[in-house]
Chains A and B, each alone.
Chain A
């Protein structure tokens, strides 16, 4: 339909088109997280990969929700917990990218309205440091073709508790951006 309209418009022949609709084909391939442009997989070299799992369709999920004392993956309450190398992040794109995370609660709040910078964040590994959260500092760029371990830290030593922080986080969105301008789009708003 769209391209037909374009032909019709040209048919008027005045050059004064009032509207053109041109329909164009886009072929899009999908892939499991491990082999997508932004590769995400449990870090196979790390015991902390147990906090991550891959579903049958190749989608990776994280589970930090347990605070069961008997569980392997239970997080201590009233403690500062730093879990390194949970995920392995691979840049399968064609440009170096900054990598960070954006947190959101179920009401759509982002950033420090959900978790304070001292309460939750991510880390990179010895080679590439990731920005702790979106809107914080930039971290290092992960070159195309390179991988780095991503860790997570939780701190409810002070006024906040496990419930305050973990339960408030509804989604953790991984952000990879080729420029600081692009990163700005993920900066929590308002900048609190």
Chain B
């Protein structure tokens, strides 16, 4: 039953997706229904998003990557002498370049399983009154933004290892956690 619901939702997504891509070719509901859709978990999609480390600041919920900072079990790290941060201070810029366990660099990795090299960057709809989040390349330290995206990530190339920079300037401290949506964009480069 759950599975049926899931499929129904995917159908809807296709409609929106087709419209978003601006094909303009679909004028009827029937035509839209005829598209065969396969949606993969983040870990197996054309644009692959994988968590790094032990996943103490990230989790894969229903195949989709999510982040929690601090992580639910962050109070267990570092092993032996654990700290238990309540959160991020205000008027600060934090960079999270690894999981709380620090057994591997990066919070998440991006891989390209499409057919063209892509430039990767993040955008955030509104930063009004909420922390602003930007992904960064852990190896170079460069923020990946629309005006300054990653170098082209080749098909099948090694992963782009990423972290999250979180800016809390002007963000009030509150008991309730902030929920932020970060959009990870991958755009095919011109030419090849």
Instruction: Report which A residues bind B (CB closer than 8 A).
Output: 1-33, 35-40, 57-59, 91-95, 143-145, 178, 181-182, 185
Is the CB–CB distance between B114 and A94 below 8 Å? no
- Residues of chain B within 8 A of A143, CB atoms compared: 81
Is the CB–CB distance between A10 and B37 below 8 Å? yes
Q: Contacts A10-B40, A11-B37, A59-B173 given; indicate if A22 touches B184 (C-beta within 8 A).
A: yes
Main secondary structure of the interface of A (DSSP, over half): mixed
Q: Counting CB contacts under 8 A, is B182 at the interface?
A: yes
| Contact-size category for B | 35 or more
Is the CB–CB distance between B187 and A19 below 8 Å? yes
User: Can you list 12 residue pairs at the A/B interface with Cβ under 8 Å?
Assistant: A4-B16, A7-B39, A11-B17, A13-B36, A15-B113, A17-B46, A17-B188, A25-B66, A25-B67, A27-B67, A37-B87, A37-B88
Instruction: Report which B residues bind A (CB closer than 8 A).
Output: 10, 13-14, 16-21, 35-40, 42, 45-47, 49, 64-70, 74, 77-78, 81-92, 94-95, 97, 100-102, 113-116, 118, 131, 133, 141, 164, 166, 168, 171-174, 177-188
Q: Contacts A9-B17, A15-B115, A29-B69 given; indicate if A35 touches B181 (C-beta within 8 A).
A: no
Is the CB–CB distance between B46 and A10 below 8 Å? yes
Is the CB–CB distance between A24 and B66 below 8 Å? yes
Complex CA distance for A40 and B89, rounded to whole angstroms? 9
Q: How far is the CB of B106 from chain A (nearest CB, A)?
A: 14
Is the CB–CB distance between B89 and A29 below 8 Å? no
